[in-house]
């Protein structure tokens, strides 16, 4: 089978077209014919050898958030899975025509959602919803500040906050990203490559500050979050795409400013498939109430260039990688 694999950690060009044997599903596994993969920053970080929170074997085939069809199952797995359209989001391996996946972690793809959209909507909508509603305890009428607002989670977060009746301020880097983020309905989007962005955020809140701040970016801009939080505000950290986390905040600062700093990691706090939250999020994406920020579709062979563009911050929304394309289910 065709795969884009890296022999060792390194720059995007370590990803090379390779022929690999089709894997055989083991105990508890299913074999997935891969249709599409979302371009997740974790894939780029893993390829570069920068993550230690997930197991990575070299040669390494990235591809975390993927859709496809189950073609075989290993021992202990129900045969009824064969022919199902699924989403797999917990293991790498999607940059290949076939991938083995843990059967118990597979999610059935809603019949209203196509395979291409399926690899682009799930992680970003669920992460944004849980970051804002569960960790951020967002309430109607509040002001919500979203970092990296032209990224996939940023775009979903802005729409979810608008849907909840909040005033939404987005932050992103460069005029093209500002225009892209604005097209998803934010009240204000500011360019954080311009140094006066904190003053603009303050002015947009009449100097009160923001009730919820969602930051998956980290880096130098994250240091400003404390100053931009309103009394009783919640600053929610979900990642560090910019490469570093802000310095720890002193407890006296939290006391005097009346704010909370919260971390959010989706997997342990996700409600089970079929729950009310699960259905509400899927419905919003399937009906188009929240637009899925699918920005471009790239061929598997061109994925090294896509990694390079992502790392130089030239990708908006969620780029999608075509592996097998629009496969027919059984």
Ligand X SMILES: NC(=O)c1ccc[n+]([C@@H]2O[C@H](COP(=O)([O-])OP(=O)(O)OC[C@H]3O[C@@H](n4cnc5c(N)ncnc54)[C@H](OP(=O)(O)O)[C@@H]3O)[C@@H](O)[C@H]2O)c1
By the 10 Å C-beta count (0-12 exposed, 13-18 middle, 19+ buried), 293 is classed as buried
Terminal-to-terminal C-alpha distance of the chain = 21
3-class DSSP assignment, residue 58:
coil
**42 sits near ligand X (criterion: CB under 6 A):** yes
Q: How far apart are CA 157 and CA 181, in angstroms?
A: 11
In this complex, which beta carbon is closest to ligand X, that of residue 23 or of residue 123? 123
For Cα atoms 227, 233, 239, give the angle at the middle one, nearest 5 degrees: 80
Tokens found for residue 61: 């085939």
Binding residue count for ligand X, defined by CB under 6 A: 30
Tokens found for residue 96: 């290949």
Q: Which of 4, 14, 61, 172 binds ligand X (CB under 6 A)?
A: 172
In this complex, which beta carbon is closest to ligand X, that of residue 30 or of residue 152? 152
In this complex, which beta carbon is closest to ligand X, that of residue 4 or of residue 316? 316
Cα separation values, 94 from 21, 309, 320, 322, Å: 14, 19, 12, 10
**150 sits near ligand X (criterion: CB under 6 A):** yes
Tell me the chain's radius of gyration from C-alpha atoms: 20
**169 sits near ligand X (criterion: CB under 6 A):** no
In this complex, which beta carbon is closest to ligand X, that of residue 30 or of residue 321? 321
**177 sits near ligand X (criterion: CB under 6 A):** yes
What angle do the packed helices 276-286 and 115-129 form, to 10 degrees?
A: 130
State the DSSP H helix or E strand holding residue 3, giving kind and residue range, or none if neither: strand 2-6
Residues in 216-245 that interact with ligand X by CB under 6 A? 216-217, 238-243
In this complex, which beta carbon is closest to ligand X, that of residue 97 or of residue 163? 163
Q: Least Å distance between CB 294 and ligand X?
A: 11
3-class DSSP assignment, residue 198:
helix
Residues in 50-79 that interact with ligand X by CB under 6 A? none
CB 323 within 8 A of CB 300: yes
**96 sits near ligand X (criterion: CB under 6 A):** no
State the DSSP H helix or E strand holding residue 232, giving kind and residue range, or none if neither: strand 229-237
Region binding ligand X by CB under 6 A among candidate stretches 13-21, 36-44, 84-92, 161-169? 36-44
**94 sits near ligand X (criterion: CB under 6 A):** no
Q: Least Å distance between CB 130 and ligand X?
A: 7
Q: Which of 151, 170, 246, 324 binds ligand X (CB under 6 A)?
A: 151
Residues in 261-300 that interact with ligand X by CB under 6 A? 264-266
**123 sits near ligand X (criterion: CB under 6 A):** yes
Q: Least Å distance between CB 235 and ligand X?
A: 14
- Tell how many helices (H) and how many strands (E) occur in the chain: 11, 15
3-class DSSP assignment, residue 253:
helix
**159 sits near ligand X (criterion: CB under 6 A):** no
Q: Least Å distance between CB 195 and ligand X?
A: 15
Q: How far apart are CA 186 and CA 201, in angstroms?
A: 13
**308 sits near ligand X (criterion: CB under 6 A):** no
Q: Least Å distance between CB 141 and ligand X?
A: 26
Q: Least Å distance between CB 119 and ligand X?
A: 12
Region binding ligand X by CB under 6 A among candidate stretches 12-20, 138-146, 259-267, 295-303? 259-267
DSSP sequence for 162-212: HHTT-EEEEEESSHHHHHHHHTTT-SEEEETTSTTHHHHHHHHTTTS-EEE
Interface residues toward ligand X, by CB under 6 A = 40-42, 123-124, 127, 148, 150-154, 172-173, 177, 216-217, 238-243, 264-266, 310-311, 313, 318
């Amino acid at each position: 089978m065709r795969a884009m694999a890296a022999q060792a950690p390194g720059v995007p060009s370590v990803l090379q077209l390779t022929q690999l044997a089709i894997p055989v599903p083991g105990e508890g596994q299913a074999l997935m014919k891969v249709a599409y993969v979302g371009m997740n920053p974790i894939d780029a970080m893993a390829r570069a050898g920068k993550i230690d929170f997930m197991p990575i074997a070299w040669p390494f085939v990235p591809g975390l958030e993927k859709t496809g069809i189950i073609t075989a199952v290993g021992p202990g797995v129900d045969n009824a899975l064969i022919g199902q359209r699924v989403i797999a989001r917990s293991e790498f391996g999607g940059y290949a025509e076939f991938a083995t996946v843990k059967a118990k972690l597979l999610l059935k793809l809603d019949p209203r959602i196509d395979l291409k959209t399926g690899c682009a909507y799930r992680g970003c909508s669920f992460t944004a919803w849980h970051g804002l509603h569960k960790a951020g305890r967002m309430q109607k009428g509040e002001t919500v500040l979203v970092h990296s607002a032209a990224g996939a989670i940023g775009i979903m977060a802005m729409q979810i906050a608008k849907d909840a009746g909040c005033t939404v301020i987005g932050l992103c880097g460069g005029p093209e990203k500002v225009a892209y983020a604005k097209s998803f309905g934010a009240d204000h989007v500011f360019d954080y490559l311009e140094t006066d962005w904190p003053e603009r955020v303050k002015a947009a809140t009449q100097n009160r500050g923001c009730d919820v701040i969602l930051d998956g970016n980290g880096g130098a801009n994250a240091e400003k979050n404390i100053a931009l939080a309103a009394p009783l505000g919640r600053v929610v950290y979900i990642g560090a795409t910019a490469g570093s986390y802000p310095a720890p905040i002193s407890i006296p600062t939290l006391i005097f400013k009346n704010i909370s700093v919260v971390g959010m990691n989706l997997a342990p706090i996700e409600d089970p498939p079929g729950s009310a939250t699960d259905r509400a999020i899927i419905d919003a994406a399937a009906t188009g109430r929240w637009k899925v920020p699918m920005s471009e579709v790239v061929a598997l062979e061109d994925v090294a260039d896509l990694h390079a563009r992502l790392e130089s911050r030239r990708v908006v929304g969620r780029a999608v990688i075509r592996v097998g394309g629009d496969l027919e289910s059984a």
